[in-house]
Amino acid sequence: MSALGELRRIKGSTPPKQRNQNRAAFLFLLPWFLGLALVTIGPMAASLGLSFTRYNLLSPPRFNGIDNFVRMLEDERLHTSLGVTFQYVFISVPLQLGLALLLAVALDRGLRGLSFYRSAFYLPSLLGASVAIAMLWRQIFGVDGLVNTVLAWFGIEGQGWISNPDTALGTLMVLNVWTFGSPMVIFLAGLRQIPAMYYEAAAVDGASRRQQFWRITMPLLTPIIFFNLILQLIGAFQSFTQAFIVSGGTGGPVDSTLFYTLYLYQRGFANLDMGYASAMAWLLLVIIAAFTAINFWASKYWVFYDDQD
Amino acid sequence: MTKTDPAVDLAPLTESVVTGLPPEQVRDDRRKNAFRKPVSSLIRHAILIAAALLMLYPVIWMVVSSVRPNDVIFREPGIIFDSFEISNYVDGWNALSYPFNTYLLNSALVVLGSIVGNLVSCSMAAYAFARLDFTGKRFWFAIMLLSIMLPIHVIIVPQYVLFSQLGWVNTFLPLIVPKLLATDAFFIFLMVQFIRGIPRELDEAARIDGAGHPRIFLQIILPLMVPALATVTIFTFIWTWNDFFSQLIYLTKPALYTVPLALNAFQDAQSATDFGEMFAMSVVSLIPIFLIFLFGQRFLIKGIATTGIK
């Protein structure tokens, strides 16, 4: 075969190449297709089916129509868990992102020792999801814990932060805020993308640092803020480990740390109420999807894309 | 944020007009200028160091407390090694029904299986999405992206039913097999992004030499995507090592406990009396993460900066 023939084959003829690639693509994607069918879509469909049944693993599922959903309407603990989760998500995520943004801006501008600070602030996000840190949290916010020892120096009498239903959720929020390092690194990468000449042009026009921040940095960073917001919201709705460890699996005291996922776990795997747990899982999916959709819709009004002008 | 006189900001610009330096460099110069104002930069560093210390304080305190006698731990908020009670580690290691190395080994097995699974299956899928044209590509790609956001809780119940019917409960299979089937779609996305950055001319050249897709994938693409593979390895390690939810559900026999489950058992068994031992084993459990952080930071920072994973 001549070189010219080879070249023409590469350049022009899509039809035979297409067929070849379909087969190759199928083979390359085979594990993923299997996973999608057996581990993702299949179970999703099954869980939708199970949500209309009563099922305890031991005897076959019994269809009970919309009973599970009706029960959800009357289930006080479910409502509590939704309230706890919403509080956790809508208080700790904005605080976490705000802190991440603040530190990212403080660390930008070619600060010496950037990599040291970045590491120090980033490390907690790697550790924060672990059981060990959740256990540590339980100790330092306990009655005899570190926090109260430090407060005592200032003559403030502490309390059992974890055993008090008014403050227990707060300690978990602090833990989530503590892991602001990963959104911070994303913000730092975003700040790098802003061309220096924008700032110079603004400086020529006499804009102050504050004006530069609000008129240049913030608008150009909104896509990153949006991205971080979506990511952290989805993650926070699914928090489980910290509440489980800090409350010893109960969601207490008085259900004050009963995250939605924790309640789902209790119903499904402790009470073997699998049908109800499936219905709960679908409600969670709907909630997360709804908030993500609302975010995307709202983003039209506040997220600024540089390439649209 | 301090308000600065615009005239100060203009100085380097006038300088650039005089020297004719490109604007990028001028901004660099201005950055350096900031450090010639020693007072404000000193204050800034002081605040940042205080903040960093506050952030790391709980962790450092835990490490120091792990070698303190029990009766001292909560009376001593200092973070200087003042005693060296190694017995916490010895006793903690053997406090549960199996020595702690059992749990470390179990975790290591799950982590290793997950890493191999993710590397093989996700890189294959990524190659297809990045380099091959096939029917419905956009549709499947969208499905892949959507699956990233799917909460595990939506599928966990039927998945549990499936795996328990296969007799896989109390084995590591439910934790590893899904990884072999590329269910961590995040990594597919990360690798697609990376492969897209590899010049297509390399594939074309190999194709002219008669290489098929398996060879192009194995001999051209894979060697070039080592940084992406490293990122995936590191993140899989950290996520799997820290994972609690699925391990809690699938592993109920103490002999099969992974490190997070062992720590959880620790908390139940000790009923919050032996903090020294508990902290000692917590420290042991965090050492691998810390080592990964020390040596793999480059990949971690790059990984989250480009895809936004944790």
| B130, B205: one domain | yes
Question: Given this model, what pLDDT does residue B15 score?
Answer: 36
How is residue B298 annotated by DSSP?
H
**In terms of Cα–Cα distance, which of B103, B69, B61 is closest to B86?**
B69
pLDDT at B35 over 60: no
B265-294 mean pLDDT: 85
Q: Which domains does chain A carry?
A: 3-50 (no CATH), 71-308 (1.10.3720.10)
Residue B92 lies in a domain: no
Question: Given this model, what pLDDT does residue B41 score?
Answer: 80
**In terms of Cα–Cα distance, which of B246, B291, B228 is closest to B107?**
B246
User: Which residue, among A39, A93, A171, A186, would best test binding to B if mutated, counting the most B CBs under 10 Å from its CB?
Assistant: A39
A270-280 mean pLDDT: 94
CA A6 vs CA A21, A192, B156: distances in Å = 18, 44, 51
Residue B291 lies in a domain: yes
CA distance A254 to chain B (A): 19
| B160, B254: one domain | yes
Residue B45 lies in a domain: yes
pLDDT at A189 over 50: yes
| B105, B82: one domain | no
Q: Which of A36, A107, A186 sits opposite B304 (nearest CB)?
A: A186
ipTM of the complex: 0.86
Residue B284 lies in a domain: yes
pLDDT at B20 over 50: no
| B131, B206: one domain | yes
pLDDT at B287 over 70: yes
Mark yes or no for CB contact B147/A44 under 8 Å: no
Question: Given this model, what pLDDT does residue B243 score?
Answer: 94
Residue B93 lies in a domain: no
Residue B107 lies in a domain: yes
- CA B263/CA B103 separation, integer angstroms: 10
Residue B197 lies in a domain: yes
Question: Given this model, what pLDDT does residue B180 score?
Answer: 96
| Beta-carbon contacts of residue A4 (< 8 Å; ≥ 6 apart) | none
Question: Given this model, what pLDDT does residue A274 score?
Answer: 93
Helix locations, A108-259, DSSP H? 114-127, 131-140, 146-153, 168-178, 181-192, 196-204, 209-212, 218-237, 241-246
A131-140 mean pLDDT: 92
Lowest-pLDDT range, A169-183, B29-43, B71-85? Answer: B29-43
Strand, coil or helix: A186: helix
Mean pLDDT over each residue of chain A, to the nearest integer: 88
Question: Given this model, what pLDDT does residue A172 score?
Answer: 96
Mark yes or no for CB contact B121/A238 under 8 Å: no
Note whether B115 and B237 are within 8 A (CB): yes
| B31, B115: one domain | no
**B-contacting residues of A 148-207, CB under 8 Å?**
149-150, 178, 182, 185-186, 188-189, 196-197, 199-200, 203-204, 206-207
pLDDT at A17 over 80: no
| Beta-carbon contacts of residue B46 (< 8 Å; ≥ 6 apart) | none
| B243, B117: one domain | yes
Residue B1 lies in a domain: no
Q: Tell whether B178 lies on the interface with A, counting CB pairs under 8 A.
A: yes
Question: Given this model, what pLDDT does residue B192 score?
Answer: 92
Question: Given this model, what pLDDT does residue B271 score?
Answer: 56
How many residue pairs bridge chain A and chain B with CB atoms within 8 Å of each other? Answer: 289
**In terms of Cα–Cα distance, which of A246, A278, A276 is closest to A259?**
A246
Q: How many structural domains comprise chain B?
A: 2
pLDDT at B309 over 70: no
| B108, B243: one domain | yes
Token reading at B6: 């615009």
Final residue belonging to a domain, choices B56, B87, B118: B87
If one compares A257 and B297, the residue with the highest pLDDT of the two is A257
Report the percentage of chain B scoring pLDDT > 90: 54
Rg over CA atoms, chain A: 26
Q: Residue B10: which pLDDT band, with cuts at 50, 70 and 90?
A: very low
Report the percentage of chain A scoring pLDDT > 70: 92
- Give the model confidence (pLDDT) of A204-262 as tens digits: 999 988 899 999 999 999 988 998 898 899 999 999 999 999 998 898 789 999 999 99
Range of the domain at B184: 100-307
Report the percentage of chain B scoring pLDDT > 70: 84
- Give the model confidence (pLDDT) of B168-213 as tens digits: 999 999 999 999 999 999 899 989 988 998 899 998 899 898 889 9
Question: Given this model, what pLDDT does residue A38 score?
Answer: 92
SS (H, E, C) B63-128: HHHCCCCHHHHCCCCCCCCCCCCCHHHHHHHCCCCCCHHHHHHHHHHHHHHHHHHHHHHHHHHHHH
| Beta-carbon contacts of residue A16 (< 8 Å; ≥ 6 apart) | none
Question: Given this model, what pLDDT does residue A111 score?
Answer: 75
**B-contacting residues of A 3-62, CB under 8 Å?**
6, 10, 17-18, 21-22, 24-26, 28-32, 34-36, 38-40, 42-44, 46-47, 50, 57
- Give the model confidence (pLDDT) of A68-109 as tens digits: 999 999 999 999 999 999 999 999 999 999 999 999 988 876
**A-contacting residues of B 134-173, CB under 8 Å?**
134-135, 137, 140, 143-144, 147, 149-162, 164
Question: Given this model, what pLDDT does residue A236 score?
Answer: 94
| B104, B79: one domain | no
Final residue belonging to a domain, choices B64, B87, B110: B87
Q: Tell whether B71 lies on the interface with A, counting CB pairs under 8 A.
A: no
pLDDT at B97 over 50: yes
- CA B123/CA B137 separation, integer angstroms: 16
Q: What is the CATH number of the domain that holds B294?
A: 1.10.3720.10
| B224, B290: one domain | yes
Burial of A119 (0-12, 13-18, 19+ CB in 10 A): middle
| B142, B260: one domain | yes
Question: Given this model, what pLDDT does residue B107 score?
Answer: 97
Distance of CA B141 to the CA centre of its chain: 24
| B142, B221: one domain | yes
Final residue belonging to a domain, choices B87, B115, B144: B87
What DSSP element (H or E) covers A54? Answer: strand A53-54
Question: Given this model, what pLDDT does residue B95 score?
Answer: 87
| B57, B175: one domain | no
Lowest-pLDDT range, A51-65, A118-132, A294-308? Answer: A294-308
Write down how long chain B is: 310
